[in-house]
């Protein structure tokens, strides 16, 4: 809470309170800019990051860049009673109707949903199929360095499934 003392201070106060309720789970505080640098240098040192929406949006975009971009980044917002699964990217109006959108983020968000519902086998099959298509590199959309359109990518994904 070095700059936004009021809002960050409240967030930290609540985080500390929740952390005390779960002493077996490691809890560390960090300043967002230092965290961003550490994520770029060695993302493997992190397991779960909890932060407010503003910093979470920035950090999620940064980390999606580490794995290939927004087109491959899934998202899950999980609460006690409800969960929402979505692609991290927005609607991409600049490529709407061109048939070149990368559906990976949405597909992987579906895998997260299946996992949350307890269907780990189906979730794993989807993740494995995505990994296969990307590793083969024959049906990649332009954002992944390929020349395939969305249909060709989806066809390859279905075949891999």
* Cα separation, 83 vs 142, whole angstroms: 31
Q: Dihedral of CA 113/115/120/124: which sign? A: positive
pLDDT tens digit sequence for 129-152: 999 999 999 999 999 999 999 999
Q: What is the mean pLDDT of residues 78-83?
A: 93
Give the DSSP letter string of the chain.
--SSHHHHHHHHHHHHHHHHH-TTS------HHHHHHHHHH-GGG-S-----HHHHHHHHHHHHHHHT-GGG-EEEEE-SS-EEEEESS---TTTTTSS----HHHHHHHHHHHHHTT-HHHHHHHHHHHHHHHHH-SS--GGGT----HHHHHHHHHHH-
Q: What percent of the chain has pLDDT over 70?
A: 96
Instruction: Report whether 85 contacts 74 (CB < 8 A).
Output: yes
pLDDT band at residue 81 under the 50/70/90 scheme: very high
d(CA 68, CA 78): 24
pLDDT of residue 9: 87
38: which strand partners? none
> Average model confidence (pLDDT) for the chain?
93
Please report the pLDDT score of residue 124 as a whole number.
99
Contact between 35 and 49 (Cβ < 8 Å): yes
**Is 61:88 a contact under the CB 8 Å cutoff?**
yes
Grade residue 5 by pLDDT with cuts at 50, 70 and 90. Answer: low
Q: Which of 68, 88, 87 is nearest to 144 (CA)?
A: 68
């Amino acid at each position: 809470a070095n700059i936004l003392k009021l809002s960050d201070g409240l967030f930290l106060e609540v985080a500390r309170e929740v952390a005390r309720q779960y002493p077996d789970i490691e809890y560390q505080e960090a300043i967002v800019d230092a965290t961003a640098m550490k994520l770029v240098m060695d993302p493997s040192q992190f397991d779960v990051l909890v932060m407010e929406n503003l910093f979470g949006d920035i950090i999620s975009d940064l980390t999606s860049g580490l794995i290939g971009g927004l087109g491959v980044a899934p998202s899950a917002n999980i609460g006690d009673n409800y969960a929402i699964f979505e692609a991290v990217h927005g609607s991409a109006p600049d490529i709407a109707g061109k048939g070149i959108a990368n559906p990976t983020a949405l597909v992987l968000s579906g895998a997260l949903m299946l996992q949350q519902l307890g269907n780990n086998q189906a979730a794993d099959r989807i993740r494995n199929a995505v990994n296969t298509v990307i590793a083969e590199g024959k049906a990649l959309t332009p954002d992944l360095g390929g020349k395939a359109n969305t249909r060709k990518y989806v066809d390859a994904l279905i075949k891999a499934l």
